[in-house]
Structure 1
């Protein structure tokens, strides 16, 4: 068997592009060369990697099995090439909103000062977005606000974080001792489902209330802070997110009759992901 890197590259691009026509344009090959390379690979493996549905190619179970291994080999080849030239590929990082907006920017600024020659791409979404991107090999590493339950991903504890309940400075709930009943009677403004913060708030806080009133679901922590500041309800976010507003007095922490709401932030990567030297250096930098 003589599988070539070109065949694996063609296979991976056909899977991503969805057709030999688009793959040929990306790879600067003729469509017949792409089709021949794919056919040669399938013949050597003795299986079909795609189901032919009309003119469409739909990846099947054999193709899904091969894809992460092919990507890992191609990435290792790229790393070998980069060992001998100054140009290094960009690290692709995806972080959930609290981490991406409030923790990583400072770390990345330090990283860029120390390693200006290594580009880095940061995307921000909710935790489920991050998990999906890591699982699909669209990014090298992800940072999320809770444990990951996907078997093909490796999750490692990264940092500890504290969540706090907060309200507008003149909120009625602050004028009397806070009880589980008064928390249940308040209007809550929460992150959307799929957010790591929402998952932890549901588990550590809302599960202790007899019921709760959901006023709004918002996909952005900044929007939640503004809504709370204007008296639309109370919420629960990372202390890091509202630190400036608490210090300025525009938001007030609501003392709750429960233990501190602690959580662990995680970093995740695909179990079959090749961890390059640049990526390992970045992860070590963030750990420090």
Structure 2
């Protein structure tokens, strides 16, 4: 068997794009060369990697099995090519909103001070987006605010984070001792479904409330803070997100009758992901 890196590269690009035409444009090869490389790979493996549906190529169970291993080999080959280049160790990181906006910047700053020439891309989205990016090998590492249940991903506990309920200083919920009934009746502004914060809140907080009054869902924490500041409703976010506004008196913490709302933050990567020297080095800053 003489599988080549070019054949694996063609296979992964055809899988990503769904066509030999797009793959040929990406790889700067002729369409016939792409088709030939894919055909040679399938002949050597003695299986079909795609189902042919009209002019479309739809990856099948054999292709899905090969993809993570092909990506791992290509990444290792790329590392060999970059060993003696200044840009070695380019990293792609994805983080959910709270982590990406409020926790990672300090760690990335320390990493950049020690390795100023090493490229690092950070994408910020909700936890569902981060999990999908890690599963698809679009990023090397994910940092999320809730548990991950995908068997193909490795999940590692990272750090603890406290969530707090907060309101505008003059909100009616603060005018008397806070009860579960008062929390249930208050208007709530929450992160969208798919965010780690929302998933944890439904488990830690709203499981204690038979009903709650959800009036608005917003896609980022900054929008929620502004909405709460102007009295639209109350919310619950990481203490890290609102601590400056609480110290300034713009927002106030709502002390609830419940125990502290603690959650675990997680690191995730694909089981087939090759842990490069650059990624291992970045992980040491996270610790």
TM-score normalised by the shorter chain: which range applies? over 0.9
Aligned counterparts of 1:85 and 1:184: Cα–Cα separation in 2: 58
Deviates more, 1:77-86 or 1:262-271: 77-86
Aligned counterparts of 1:163 and 1:264: Cα–Cα separation in 2: 11
Q: Give the match for residue 118 of structure 1.
A: 118
1:84, distance to aligned residue in structure 2 (A): 2.4
- Is the CA contact 2:89–2:279 (under 8 Å) kept in the aligned structure 1? no
Aligned counterparts of 1:22 and 1:199: Cα–Cα separation in 2: 38
1:89, distance to aligned residue in structure 2 (A): 4.8
- Is the CA contact 2:95–2:125 (under 8 Å) kept in the aligned structure 1? yes
Q: Secondary structure at the match of 1:103?
A: helix
Q: Give the match for residue 242 of structure 1.
A: 242
1:204, distance to aligned residue in structure 2 (A): 0.6
- Is the CA contact 1:20–1:35 (under 8 Å) kept in the aligned structure 2? yes
Q: Give the match for residue 19 of structure 1.
A: 19
Q: Give the match for residue 8 of structure 1.
A: 8
Runs of 4+ in 1 over 6 A off after TM superposition: none
Aligned counterparts of 1:163 and 1:97: Cα–Cα separation in 2: 14
Written as runs of structure 1 = structure 2, the 5 A alignment for 1:78-93 is: 78-93=78-93
1:232, distance to aligned residue in structure 2 (A): 0.7
Aligned counterparts of 1:255 and 1:26: Cα–Cα separation in 2: 55
Where in structure 1 are there 5+ consecutive unaligned residues?
A: none
Matched positions, count: 287
Alpha-carbon RMSD: 0.9
Q: Give the match for residue 284 of structure 1.
A: 284
Where in structure 2 are there 5+ consecutive unaligned residues?
A: none
Written as runs of structure 1 = structure 2, the 5 A alignment for 1:223-262 is: 223-262=223-262
Residues 173-213 of structure 1, C-alpha deviations (whole Å, 9 max, x = no match): 11111111111111111111101000111111111012111
Aligned counterparts of 2:132 and 2:172: Cα–Cα separation in 1: 41
- Is the CA contact 1:181–1:210 (under 8 Å) kept in the aligned structure 2? no
Q: Give the match for residue 221 of structure 1.
A: 221
Q: Give the match for residue 98 of structure 2.
A: 98
